């Protein structure tokens, strides 16, 4: 695989393959109203996701529970950082009703980090899964969880609610963690993925990396090996896009052909399904990722 030289890229200077359609169709606006009416948050808006126009126009969104203020300040993330106040015990029901209104067959739920809470928000995660299922018995539920550093019990609380897919992002390579995710631990996150698959092998697991922060190709390959060792089912690889000048600089744009090659290499190593592309995010085409995974496992 030919890799382009790492050079600092001027903010807002993006190649043609990263251009996306400006959001604004009728389904987009209907979903926006529904989110507001139910007093909900989405990671699509809070993290400035480039796919919001495409996904919302299809009537899909990733619900972000436990508020929209995060207790951590990661160098790549657009979500607001601060001191959140408590949490809303009625939120799981509102998410479940929104899923019902949208007639979703596949729901994705994530959250901010809540290091201020003893249970780190795990009980709200569990209740959201259970209430979605109660109102929508045919809906599959995927959760993208934080690292639950305080206690393994908090992780087990979410696992006990039996999500169909449990995702947790490594985001970058270990060498870059002090700069990219200073309050997190690569090894702890990897151990979380090990634990889930060891204790609940029926739950599909997913992990995501973003590229362009200064990682080397051999570090990407090592990350794939780590994911394989943890028996992760789905790996997503996408391009880091700098949210603002206050965030970490973007050091490299990967060409779509490079992403295709990374998919080939990851699956050749034995990872069941790799979703790799410039605009790929953990929850992007989440239902399709699982469908392709099941096809790969059955082939």
* Domain-embedded: residue 6: no
Residue 201's domain is classified under what CATH number?
Answer: 3.20.20.70
- Beta strands at 140-144 and 41-42: parallel, antiparallel or unpaired: unpaired
Q: How many folded domains does the chain comprise? A: 1
Residue 116 backbone phi and psi in degrees, to 5: -75, -15
Q: Is residue 126 part of a domain?
A: yes
Structural domain includes residue 13: no
Position 7 scores a pLDDT of 42
Determine the Cα–Cα distance for residues 154 and 120; give it in Å rounded to an integer: 7
Global pTM value:
0.85
Decide if 247 contacts 75 (C-beta within 8 A).
yes
Q: Is residue 177 part of a domain?
A: yes
Range of the domain at 269: 18-298
DSSP 111: E
In order along the chain (299 residues), what is the average pLDDT of each group of 10 residues? 43 66 59 65 53 52 85 87 88 90 86 93 96 94 92 96 96 97 95 97 96 97 98 96 89 96 98 93 74 72
Note whether residue 7 is domain-resident: no
| Total length of the chain | 299
Structural contact between residues 158 and 145, judged by C-beta atoms closer than 8 angstroms: yes
Predicted pLDDT of residue 30: 65
What is the three-class DSSP state of 217? helix
Residue 208 lies in a domain: yes
**Closest to 211 (Cα-Cα) out of 234, 240, 182:** 240
The answer to whether residue 3 is domain-embedded is no
* Whether 275 contacts 285, CB under 8 Å: yes
Q: Is residue 5 part of a domain?
A: no
């Amino acid at each position: 695989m030919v890799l382009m030289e790492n050079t600092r890229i001027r903010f807002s200077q993006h190649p043609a393959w990263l251009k996306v359609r400006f959001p604004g169709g009728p389904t987009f606006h209907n979903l926006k109203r529904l989110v507001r009416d139910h007093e909900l948050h989405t990671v699509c808006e809070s993290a400035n996701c480039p796919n919001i126009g495409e996904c919302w126009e299809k009537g899909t969104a990733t619900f972000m529970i436990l508020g929209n203020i995060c207790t951590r300040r990661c160098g790549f993330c657009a979500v607001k950082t601060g001191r959140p106040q408590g949490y809303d015990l009625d939120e799981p029901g509102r998410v479940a009703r929104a899923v019902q209104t949208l007639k979703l067959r596949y729901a994705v739920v994530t959250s901010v980090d809540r290091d201020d809470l003893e249970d780190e928000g795990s009980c709200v995660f569990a209740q959201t899964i259970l209430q979605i299922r109660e109102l929508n018995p045919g809906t599959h539920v995927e959760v993208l969880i934080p690292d639950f550093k305080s206690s393994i019990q908090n992780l087990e609380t979410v696992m006990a609610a039996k999500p169909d897919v449990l995702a947790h992002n490594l985001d970058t390579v270990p060498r870059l963690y002090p700069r990219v995710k200073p309050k997190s631990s690569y090894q702890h996150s990897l151990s979380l993925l090990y634990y889930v698959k060891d204790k609940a092998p029926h739950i599909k697991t997913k992990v995501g990396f973003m590229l362009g922060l200064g990682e080397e190709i051999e570090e990407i390959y090592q990350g794939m090996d780590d994911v394989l060792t943890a028996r992760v089912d789905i790996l997503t690889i996408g391009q880091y896009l700098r949210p603002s000048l206050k965030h970490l600089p973007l050091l490299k744009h990967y060409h779509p052909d490079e992403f295709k090659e990374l998919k080939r290499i990851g699956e050749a190593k034995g990872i069941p399904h790799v979703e790799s592309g410039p605009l790929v995010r953990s929850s992007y085409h989440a239902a399709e990722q699982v469908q392709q995974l099941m096809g790969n496992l059955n082939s």
